[in-house]
Structure 1
Amino acid sequence: MPIDQNQINLLLDSSVLSTQSNRVFMVERGNMMTAMSWFTKITGQRLAMADLTRLKAAGGFFIHTYAGNVNGNPVNVNLRGGSSSSITSEKHVMLLTKDYQMLGEIHSTSTTPGCPTIDITNPQHLGGVPRVVTLDGRIEIKFATTYTYVQ
């Protein structure tokens, strides 16, 4: 099955551009199951856990690559169980009484090493995905929860 560029557009629609790079997109409240589901939609490959554990990258995370072709040009879709870059998460807690009077607020941040990631190499060949055709090399779509609001 060819790479489904419409699914990549839908995935990018449900993501936000990272504040750190125009090549990194964040899917909020995502996890490995979310990443695997999108990988299947984009490539047509349904993966089992054994598919993910066969290969281990030097950084210690699992990887599976779909080697695709778009108009004769190589485009790979990689599913990784982690990433070499860290993700900063924020948590905002509002403390309220039973009758919803404000008692206080607690704001904290934490850093997590890596998260499930789909990266696409040679996105400049994805003519059906206008947001990425100017990005040579690769893009990353990271699946994580970066902000939590609790009342």
Structure 2
Amino acid sequence: MTDQLTTDAADSESKIQLVTFRVNDILLGISIDCVQEINRLLDVTAVPGASRLIHGVVNLRGEVVTVIDAHQLFGVRSQTNPENQRNLVLRVDGEQIGILVDEIADILTIRQCDLSPRPSNLRSVDRRFIDSVFLTSGSIVVVLDASSLVNAIDQSDKAEPALA
């Protein structure tokens, strides 16, 4: 009986859940542990002089949250009606960020061992944002590293200073 409990505990610990979403025709995923909420695109306020990467900021129950435009981040165009777009709000290392995505796909529960290291030939997404990949029947889910998305905001501030 104890062996069965140990096996069940090991199985539950080795599984993760991913929120999957699309940006253009790229299927992406991110750990559900980082996802605070998913909402329709709220009223976004443009930030004068901000990087092209920054879609704007939103007021989320009194907190100002920076929203990244995933299309700019990955260098692709939106392929959906703006009414279908969603704001994926993440909480990473105590910070909140939003990501503008074309649509939310699904929540996947997968075994940790089914994730593969990021391949060197994957060109649709900047490698620095990739944690791993998950192969499904007929498609690939690019699993993002949430911390690198927060770092992208910091780097965009340094790369494109606001005009005086």
**Same fold per superposition (TM over 0.5):** no
TM-score, normalised relative to structure 1? 0.27
Choose between structure 1 and 2: higher helix proportion: 2
Choose between structure 1 and 2: higher strand proportion: 2
